[in-house]
Structure 1
Amino acid sequence: MGALELSIAMGDYDRTRAISDGRIGIDGVSPNCMLLSPEEMFFRAFRHKAFDVSELSLSSYSISVARGDPHYVAVPVFLSRAFRHTSIYVRKDRGIDRPADLRGRRIGIAEYQLSANVWFRGILEDEYGVRPSEIEWVRGGMNTAGRPEKIKVELPADIRVSEAPQGATLNQMLVDGEIDGFVGPRAPLCFDQGHPDVGRLFDDTVAEAESYFRKTGIFPIMHVLGVRRSLADQHPWLPGALLKAFTRAKIMAEEALADTSATKVTMPFVEDNLARAKALMGNDIWPYGLAPNRKVLETFLGYHHAQGLSPRKVGVDELFHPATVEAFSL
């Protein structure tokens, strides 16, 4: 019997590169790797079930679990994490200087359900006292007009979501002052281009995020790895093999990052930033596995349900294949 041929969709990250270039194999698997953007991966995975193994939006996956129809089952490999204090961009000429100033404002979003937006709204309420119902959310395409939600969502009655006008982009609406800000995992084009009146809400996002981590111990999770449920049922060894391979690939990336004899990334001050992160977060700054991430996941699932995205509160243990939540030891 030959190796199982599987399509694997994932981002082109240092922590996945050893799998995509073949330096690390997946036991029993012959992978056909596709390096795609999150937008393309998630749309194709949730709309068309296009891949055998795929990086998944934690939010969209949680919706599918809550509804009882998940096509994929997750492995505790967290391919994307980010402190979302960086994700809110505002018009600096509107008197928006602190989170409380977002009350009553019109804030653009590409999709209400995006994991980054779930985290931002949860943090905004927990840490700064601003409820999602106090903001008008304007949904639309960032730089191209029109963008559908990957999965249809039904939101609480007090949540105000309006659609961007036909043909309009959120970026242009922000430039024209038709919205007061934007929240999302990518910066709006006008910010990247240096628009003088568009900036981040927090002037020092790193300091704000470090303060949040010291208080909560939470490093937000955005994406998980999912395997087609029918394949996991047919080949119960597969989820564990994926966890093993992706963990090894992450360790290889971390070793390369720490080797600063010749910096492996195109960025100055790598060793200083790495030391700063470890001083804050400990030596394992990007943990995989369920045990070290349970609090992070419980917090996210609480936000997800409170914001009306999941019809019931999903339990952390429901997310993952049982073969991936325990491991052998010598």
Structure 2
Amino acid sequence: MAKVQLSIATWDYDRVRPLIDGRVKVEGCEITYLPMTVEECFQRAYLHGEFDVTELGFSPFLIGRSRGAMEYEAIPVFLSRMFRHSAIYIRKDRGILRPEDLRGKRVGVPEYQMSAALWARGMIQDDHGVRPDEMTWIQGGLEVPGRREKFPLNLPDSFPLEAAPAGRSLSKMLEDGELDAIFSARAPSCFSVHSPSIGRLFPDYKRAEMDYYRRCGVFPIMHALGLRKTLVERHPWLPVSLYKAFAAARDIAEQDLREVAALKTMLPWLGADLEQTEKVMGRNFWTYGVEANAKTLDLMFRYSYEQGLAVRLMTAEDVFIPSTLDDSIHV
């Protein structure tokens, strides 16, 4: 039987590199792997459906799925996970010393519906009681004006969200004092050049994020893996084959982290960082599958619905390909 020809597009993570270089195969398939930045990957996948298998921003996927507007089905392979206390940047001259001080402020966001912003808003509301509608949101490109949402917004007409002025980037607006804060997965350039007026809401974000995990047991999910819907219908075995291959690649990446005789990365204290991470989160901290991530997934589903993104409260059964819900494949 001829092998299925697949194009796969993701960022060049350590946890996918064994698939890129051929150490791990996808059973029954011949793959063409296209590493690219996540912004390019999402743009080409969501707007043009170019790839058979693709990394997907999980918040936009939930939105599209809840509205029945997705060309892709989801596999519970979570390629990107990050705590997002580090993603909130502020003007230091606006009296913003704690999350509660964001009430009434003008806050920039590259895409209101992006996963990083969803998690940051949810954390701010659950832990500090600040609702999204207590801030005014300005949506636009972080460094290049004109960025837009993947799906039309579904917020109430009275919700305080507006577009950035034409020709203005969020970073420049923060630098010039037209914004009080930015929620962004990437650091704005005005922060990266060490402007004295720009800082983080949580300067010691690592401590804040570790405390969050100790209290909540949640490791936020940013991106999942999508498979073209027509291929699921044509090859019912394919979702599990992909799941197993991506899990095997992740396992190799984890083994590489533990190689201390000759470090494979340029971080001299990688071993110490790994030990600290495992002390807080346990040895198996980067899990795939539904059962091991049930608490994190349920919280993300709630945030999406509460924040006016998904049009209904989703469940794992609504979101993932049924064959990938089987606990026997999850490792």
TM interval, short-chain normalised: over 0.9
Q: Which residue of 2 aligns with 1:76?
A: 76
Q: Which residue of 1 aligns with 2:199?
A: 199
- Partner Cα distance (2:128, 2:195) in 1: 27
- Partner Cα distance (1:264, 1:324) in 2: 32
- Partner Cα distance (1:77, 1:28) in 2: 19
TM-score if structure 2 supplies the norm length? 0.97
Identify which range, 310-319 or 165-174, moves more after superposition: 310-319
Within 5 Å, give how 1:243-262 maps onto structure 2. 243-262=243-262
| Cα pair 1:156 1:307 within 8 Å, conserved | no
1:254-306 C-alpha deviation (Å, 9 max, x unpaired):
00001111111121211111011111111111111111101101000100000
Unpaired runs of 5+ residues, structure 2, are none
Q: Which residue of 2 aligns with 1:138?
A: 138
- Partner Cα distance (1:208, 1:66) in 2: 32
Q: Is 2:15 the counterpart of 1:37?
A: no
Letter of the 2:45 counterpart: A
- Partner Cα distance (2:152, 2:203) in 1: 35
Secondary structure of 1:14's aligned partner: coil
Secondary structure of 1:96's aligned partner: coil
Letter of the 2:198 counterpart: V
Q: Which residue of 1 aligns with 2:276?
A: 276
| Cα pair 1:139 1:164 within 8 Å, conserved | yes
Query: Structure 2 vs 1, CA of residues 95 and 319 (structure 1 numbering), >3 Å: closer, same or farther?
Result: same
- Partner Cα distance (2:223, 2:35) in 1: 15
Identity %: 44
TM-score if structure 1 supplies the norm length? 0.98
Letter of the 2:226 counterpart: G
Q: Which residue of 2 aligns with 1:221?
A: 221
1:104-132 C-alpha deviation (Å, 9 max, x unpaired):
10011001000010001110000011000
1:216-275 C-alpha deviation (Å, 9 max, x unpaired):
100000000010011011101100000000000000000000111111112121111101
- Partner Cα distance (1:280, 1:158) in 2: 42
| Cα pair 2:66 2:310 within 8 Å, conserved | yes
* TM-aligned CA deviation for residue 155 of structure 1: 0.8
| Cα pair 1:111 1:140 within 8 Å, conserved | yes
- Partner Cα distance (1:69, 1:152) in 2: 11
Within 5 Å, give how 1:231-242 maps onto structure 2. 231-242=231-242
Q: Which residue of 2 aligns with 1:63?
A: 63
Unpaired runs of 5+ residues, structure 1, are none
- Partner Cα distance (2:167, 2:70) in 1: 33
Letter of the 2:311 counterpart: P
Q: Is 2:175 the counterpart of 1:175?
A: yes
- Partner Cα distance (1:76, 1:314) in 2: 15
| Cα pair 1:92 1:197 within 8 Å, conserved | yes
* TM-aligned CA deviation for residue 158 of structure 1: 4.4
Letter of the 2:168 counterpart: A
* TM-aligned CA deviation for residue 203 of structure 1: 1.6
Within 5 Å, give how 1:311-322 maps onto structure 2. 311-322=311-322
- Partner Cα distance (1:222, 1:326) in 2: 22
Identify which range, 63-72 or 205-214, moves more after superposition: 63-72
- Partner Cα distance (1:231, 1:141) in 2: 34
Secondary structure of 2:32's aligned partner: strand
* TM-aligned CA deviation for residue 159 of structure 1: 2.3
- Partner Cα distance (1:193, 1:12) in 2: 26
| Cα pair 2:218 2:295 within 8 Å, conserved | yes
| Cα pair 2:174 2:181 within 8 Å, conserved | yes
Q: Which residue of 2 aligns with 1:114?
A: 114
Q: Which residue of 2 aligns with 1:124?
A: 124
Letter of the 1:229 counterpart: K
Secondary structure of 1:15's aligned partner: coil
- Partner Cα distance (2:212, 2:309) in 1: 24
| Cα pair 1:46 1:151 within 8 Å, conserved | no
1:67-104 C-alpha deviation (Å, 9 max, x unpaired):
12321111110000000000000011211111011011
Q: Is 2:140 the counterpart of 1:151?
A: no
* TM-aligned CA deviation for residue 192 of structure 1: 1.2
Secondary structure of 1:70's aligned partner: coil
Q: Which residue of 2 aligns with 1:98?
A: 98
Within 5 Å, give how 1:292-307 maps onto structure 2. 292-307=292-307
| Cα pair 1:10 1:41 within 8 Å, conserved | yes
| Cα pair 1:8 1:54 within 8 Å, conserved | yes
* TM-aligned CA deviation for residue 323 of structure 1: 1.2
- Partner Cα distance (2:11, 2:159) in 1: 32
Letter of the 1:178 counterpart: E
